[in-house]
Amino acid sequence: MNSIKKHFTTITNEQILLISTVSFFITIILFVIYVNRINIYGNFKIQVFEDGKNITDSLNIFGVSIFNREKELKRNCGSLLSDNYWYFKSLKIKPHSGKCMNSFRIIIKSDEILLDTVAFIKDTFVIDRLNYEDNYFNKLVNVGFFKNKRTRVFTNIIFLCFVFFYALILIRKNINFKTCTILCMILSGTAVFFYHFFVLEKIFLWSGYLLLFSASVLSIVLVNKFLSCEKKRKKNILLFFTGILLGILLSEAILRLIGMNISYFEKRFGYYESVYYQNRVRNDFSRTPKSEYSLKTSEFDYKRYSNSLGLSGDEPEYKNNPLDFLIIGLGDSFTEGDGAHADSTWLKFLERKIPDKDSSNFIWINAGLCGSDPFYEYKLLQDKLLVFNPDLVIINYGNELTDVIIRGGMERFESGKTAINYKIWEPIYAVSFICRLIVHNLRGYNDLFLSHSDYENEKQRAIKQLKESLLNFKELSEVFGFELLIVFHPMKKEIDNKKYDNESNCNDQLMRFANDNGINYVDLLQYYTEVENISSVNSQKYYWKYDGHHNAAGYEKFANGVYWKLKQMNLQN
C-alpha cells in the first residue's frame, strides 16, 4: 500500500496534464464517433399503407442502435412512435409471420415529413436516413443521452468538475505550457487538414479553416521570432498583425456558418470538389459494374446496385419474341432516381402504370446516371444499348447547360478535356471563404468562375450543341427504328415562378427547336402546373428541400406526365 501511495505522490504536474489531455481527447473522439453514427433521432411516428389501407399494425418495426441492439417501436392509434431517448443508425420494417409484401408506402413524420417513399420488400426493409435539416450541431442539440433528469444533472456536474480540475493544472506557474500549446495548435490543425486531403482525398467544410488557423498561428510565431526592432515597436506590430489574422479567422468562421458562397457539393456531401473535376471528361460514363453504392445527402440515403453495364437496377433483358416491347430511359440523376428508393424512380412508376398484357410484354432499362448529359447519353445508347433493339427511348433533358458549358459537346471524346480551362487559383478558393467572397461578390464571377460576358458566350455555344444533340438522337431513332420522346422537367423554383429559368437552363429554346424539327417532347412544367395543379403552394411536397431532386411523390408525378404524353402518341398499349 505504501509503495502505491508513494508512486502516486511522485506523479508530476506534467504527467497529470498529459494524462488529462489524452483522456479528454479520447473522450471527445469517442463522443464524436458515437454521435456521427447516429442517423435517426428525436420524436417521430411511422405509418405504412398498402393500396391506401393503413397496415402499420400488421408490421414489426425496430430501431437498430449503433451497437446493433434492436428496440421495437411503440404502437399508438395506427402509428408506431419513436422513443426520444433511443437513437438509431437504421430502422427495420418486418411483416408479421414472414408475410411477403407488395408495393407499400412509408410515411415518417415529426413536425414535417421525414420520409415519404414507395418500396417493395419480401422479408425486411431497412431505412438508413431520414429527411432532417441535418448538420452536426443540429444532431448534438437533438440527441439527449439520458432519459432521467437526475442522471443528466449528475453527468454535467462531473464534466464541469473535470474541466475545473484541468484548468487548475493549466494555471500552475511551474509548468511551461506556451510552447506546447502553440505547437499543438499548429500540428493538430495541419495534421487534420492533411489527413482529410491526402488520406480521405477531400476538403471538408472546416478542413480549410483548420489549415488557415494553423497557418495564422505559425505566422505569428515566425513574425515574433524574426522581427528585429525595439521591444515596444515589435509588440505593437505583433498585436496589429495578430488582430488582422484574428479578423480573417473570425470572418472565415462567420462566412462558413451562414453558408455564403457554399458550393453544391459542400451542401450535399459536406466537402469541396472542383466543378472541373466533377465534369472531367471520361470515355465511359458509367458506374463500376456489379457494385453497391449510395445516393446520399444529409436528407436521404438510398442504397443502389449496378448491373453488368454499370447502370442502376436489374440486369438488362433482351427481347425474346415479337410481342416484347423494350423501353429505355436515358438521363441524369432525375432518371436514375436520385432522392428516392430504387422502386420509386419515374421509370418504375411508369412500369406500374403500363403492366404487361396479352398483346405485349414490356421490358424496361433504366440508363439514367447521376451527372450525365445528352452527349454521354448518346454515346451510351450508341455503344451499349442499341444491341437491345429498343422500341421506345425516353430521354430526360433538365439542367444540362452547365455540364455542356464545362464539358463541351461530342468533341470532348476526341480532345479528352473540358471546354473551359481550370483556374490556377482554385486551391485558395477551396479553403478560403474570403477568397470566394472576392471571386463572386467583388469580381462578379459565377459558380463556373466565368464573368458575365464569358458566361453568355459559353452559354450560346452550349445551347447550339444541345440543339445538335436533339438532331443526333432523332437521326439515330430513324436509322434504328425506335420511337423517341424527349422529356423536359422543371426544378422547384421554376414551378414556383411558373417559367423556366433561362439563366440556368435553356429548355424553352430547346422545346421550340424540337417542335420545329418534328421531335416528340413533353413539357413537364406545363403538365405539373396545368394538369397536376402543382404550384408554389404545394411544390414542396414533391422536391427535397435542400437537395432539389424529386422525392418519391415527385417521381410519381413525373411518370404521370410521361404516361400522359405516351397516350397522345398512342404508345401506351
Q: Which residues pair with 488 in a beta bridge?
A: 397, 523
- Is 429 a domain residue? no
- Is 295 a domain residue? yes
What does the alpha-carbon distance between residue 376 and residue 19 come to, in Å, rounded to a whole number? 57
Beta strands in 156-225 (DSSP E): 203-204
Could you tell me the pLDDT band of residue 258, with boundaries at 50, 70 and 90?
A: confident
CB 107 within 8 A of CB 2: no
CATH number of the CATH domain containing 395: 3.40.50.1110
The letter for the amino acid at 248 is: I
Domain boundary among 215, 234, 264: 264
What does the alpha-carbon distance between residue 487 and residue 332 come to, in Å, rounded to a whole number? 12
Which residues have a Cβ under 8 Å from the Cβ of 525 and sit 6 or more positions away? 488, 489, 490, 494, 495, 498, 499, 500, 507
CB 396 within 8 A of CB 335: yes
Closest by alpha carbon to 339, among 396, 398, 373, 294?
A: 294
Q: What are the b/e assignments for 323-358, b being 16+ CB within 10 Å?
A: ebbbbbbbbbbbbbbbbbbbbbbbbbbbbeebeeee
- Is 427 a domain residue? no
The letter for the amino acid at 113 is: I
Residue 35 has a pLDDT of 75
The 10s digit of each residue's pLDDT in 555-572 is 999 999 999 999 998 765
Domain boundary among 219, 236, 264: 264
- Is 439 a domain residue? no
Helix (H, G, I), strand (E, B) or coil at 32: helix
3-class DSSP string for 417-470: CCCCCCCCCHHHHHHCHHHHHHHHHHCCCCCCCCCHHHHHHHHHHHHHHHHHHH
Residue 179 has a pLDDT of 57
Any idea which residue has 479578423 for its cell? 247
For residue 450, pLDDT beyond 50: yes
Both 361 and 457 in a single domain?
A: yes
- Is 146 a domain residue? no
For residue 33, pLDDT beyond 60: yes
The 10s digit of each residue's pLDDT in 205-221 is 888 888 888 888 888 87
For residue 9, pLDDT beyond 50: no
- % the chain with pLDDT above 70: 78
The 10s digit of each residue's pLDDT in 123-148 is 778 888 787 765 566 666 666 555 55
Q: Which residues pair with 109 in a beta bridge?
A: 45, 113
What does the alpha-carbon distance between residue 132 and residue 115 come to, in Å, rounded to a whole number? 9
Both 27 and 51 in a single domain?
A: no
Both 236 and 279 in a single domain?
A: no
Q: What is the mean pLDDT of residues 21-41?
A: 72
For residue 1, pLDDT beyond 50: no
- Is 434 a domain residue? no
Domain that holds residue 199: 2-35+158-264
For the chain, how many structural domains are there in total? 3
Q: Which three cell numbers stand for residue 70?
A: 434492436
What phi, psi does 376 have (nearest 5°)?
-65, -40
Both 285 and 245 in a single domain?
A: no
Find the radius of gyration of the CA atoms of the chain. Answer: 29
What does the alpha-carbon distance between residue 105 and residue 117 come to, in Å, rounded to a whole number? 6
Both 18 and 69 in a single domain?
A: no
Out of 19-28, 143-152, 190-199, pick the least confident.
Answer: 143-152
Both 97 and 171 in a single domain?
A: no
Domain boundary among 234, 264, 294: 264
Both 498 and 554 in a single domain?
A: yes
What is the dihedral sign for C-alpha 102, 332, 517, 528?
A: positive
Helices (H), 272-383: 275-278, 333-336, 346-353, 374-380
First to last CA, the chain: 91
Sheet holding 90-95, edge to edge: 70-72, 59-64, 90-95, 125-127
Both 400 and 510 in a single domain?
A: yes
Residue 165 has a pLDDT of 57
Parallel/antiparallel/unpaired status of strands 45-50 and 53-54: antiparallel
- Is 443 a domain residue? no
Could you tell me the pLDDT band of residue 366, with boundaries at 50, 70 and 90?
A: very high
Both 136 and 198 in a single domain?
A: no
Residue 347 has a pLDDT of 95
Both 335 and 394 in a single domain?
A: yes
312 sits in which H/E element: none
Both 67 and 202 in a single domain?
A: no
Residue 144 has a pLDDT of 59
The 10s digit of each residue's pLDDT in 157-197 is 555 555 555 555 555 544 455 555 666 666 666 666 766 66
Both 404 and 526 in a single domain?
A: yes
Q: Is 83 exposed, middle or buried (0-12, 13-18, 19+ CB in 10 A)?
A: middle
In Å, what is the CA distance from 77 to each residue of 51, 107, 112, 128?
19, 15, 19, 25
- Is 335 a domain residue? yes
3-class DSSP string for 243-273: HHHHHHHHHHHHHHHHCCCCCHHHHHHCEEC
Closest by alpha carbon to 78, among 101, 61, 99?
A: 61
